[in-house]
A and B are shown apart, each in its own frame.
Chain A
């Protein structure tokens, strides 16, 4: 059974969002990493890049395939997780902690309302 922390927001495309003030931290869910298995490479957007909610802006690669990661929110990339670039296996072992991808300085707080809560995301993945 996939872990779906109650304090996070989720996108239908299996990203999670942790809000701290004006900043959203983004990663992929336990369910997503379990589906991917064996993450071997993570490509992140450059710091300073302006991204739109729903836009493909990162790539995660397992042995078998490459998958796009969509930013659930709009804003400017304020920080990336170099540790996950250096050690992509963190996506599998710590999807909600050490395996985070990037942080976005939010440009539109109202977007958060359209994200899924933990219960809604659980329902989506059949958990």
Chain B
């Protein structure tokens, strides 16, 4: 075994001490010192699929945009249609450059008529805020929009799994005080967000996640987040809740074919290529990247994201592995973007960029692992790996990365 040398000053979330206390194995992720697992990735993954898991997502960024023209500004900057959001609702969306390349994928919440919250990827906070500020400086109504980056004073946790609804109401009791009006937190529907009062402090609770399971994401001040983490752990552990690290977060989202920025998405890859065109609203008026995205939607793209399962038992596919076509004229056709062993299937799974002709379900492909090629099959997205799922209401429903 080889060991990773680690040095460099890493950022810590307000839950760092909690992770140490729980014996979390800490690694570097996007400049942050984060738990990769506490017991093991498989153990935590299966806890989320069968009962519940709690994740620290405090490293993610929170950017607030408010003011009379915040909606207009965001609608010209993001791909999804902001006008569809009523106060108390959230949507998955992307922020693209002029060439349609993804600057980030994110969740946008409308907290009030003129009050928006963007939850962005940890590794993209700096790039996102710089892009938003640049866009805002060029926005005619810039004096009526206020941007503030609250990432450093905000903590967040995700609590995910089929049993979460049985205990979350004990930790966050009472009716909402803002956002979606509900009598209790479990009345929130998917993608709805409410403000709740916890010990006299306002917190945000959204019914969203990045695992494919029912669950909630909670945003609170750095000071409050550890209390929430500890209360959720205490309330959920009797039902099988486990603390879960970034390792399980990654295997869970890979099973669901949710993109992760830096793997499936980057500034040279468009939402159309990444298969999240459902979240690109071409009929809402102009927005950054629209012309390229419209052309790609009409004429197609040269590469497309395909999900695949290894056909036989093999070493797990990993990011960067070459993808081949099959047969006597086999050739290299692409690269694995994300790949891992599925703890649920006990099989190698992944996503890869390939020419569209190879992205159709049932297409046989091969993954090159340490110089040898192993058979794999393209599968339909998303969630095809989770047979217990009800049919999806939308083509794909990714939240944001870890």
Contacts and interface: CB of A to CB of B under 8 A. Distances in A.
Interface of A: 13-15, 28, 32, 35-38, 40-41, 43, 59-64, 66-69
B315 A59 contact: yes
Contacts of B341: 38, 40-41, 61, 63
B372 to A, nearest CB: 10
B314 A63 contact: no
Contacts of A69: 1
A41 B316 contact: yes
B1 A41 contact: no
B41 A66 contact: no
Q: By DSSP majority rule, is chain B's interface helix, strand, loop, or mixed? A: loop
Contacts of A40: 316, 341, 346
30 contacts: A13-B1, A13-B2, A15-B1, A32-B1, A36-B1, A37-B39, A37-B41, A38-B40, A38-B341, A38-B343, A40-B316, A40-B346, A41-B315, A43-B315, A43-B370, A61-B315, A62-B41, A63-B40, A63-B45, A63-B247, A63-B251, A63-B316, A63-B341, A63-B343, A64-B36, A64-B37, A64-B41, A66-B316, A66-B318, A68-B1
A49 to B, nearest CB: 15
Q: How large is the interface on B (under 10, 10 to 19, 20 to 34, 35 or more residues)?
A: 20 to 34
B2 A68 contact: yes
B340 interface: yes
A59 B40 contact: no
The 7 closest A-B pairs by CB, nearest first: A37-B40, A63-B41, A40-B341, A38-B42, A41-B315, A14-B1, A67-B1
Contact of B315 (A13, A36, A66): A66
B314 A67 contact: no
A66 B339 CA distance: 12
Contacts of A67: 1-2
Q: By DSSP majority rule, is chain A's interface helix, strand, loop, or mixed? A: strand
Contacts of A41: 313-316, 341
Nearest to A60: B1
A93 to B, nearest CB: 12
Contacts, number: 59
A64 B315 contact: no
A35 B2 CA distance: 11
B244 to A, nearest CB: 13
Interface string B301-319: 0000000000001111010
A115 to B, nearest CB: 16
Contacts of B2: 13, 67-68
- B36, B314, B341 — which one has the most chain A CB atoms within 10 A of its CB? B341
Given A37-B39, A63-B41, A64-B36, 5 more contacts: A43-B370, A63-B45, A64-B37, A64-B340, A67-B2
Interface string B367-380: 00010000000000
Contacts of A60: 1
A59 B251 CA distance: 21
A62 B318 CA distance: 11
Nearest to A85: B313
B247 A64 contact: yes
A122 B194 CA distance: 52
Nearest to A43: B315
A10 to B, nearest CB: 12
Contact of A38 (B1, B41, B313): B41
A124 B42 CA distance: 28
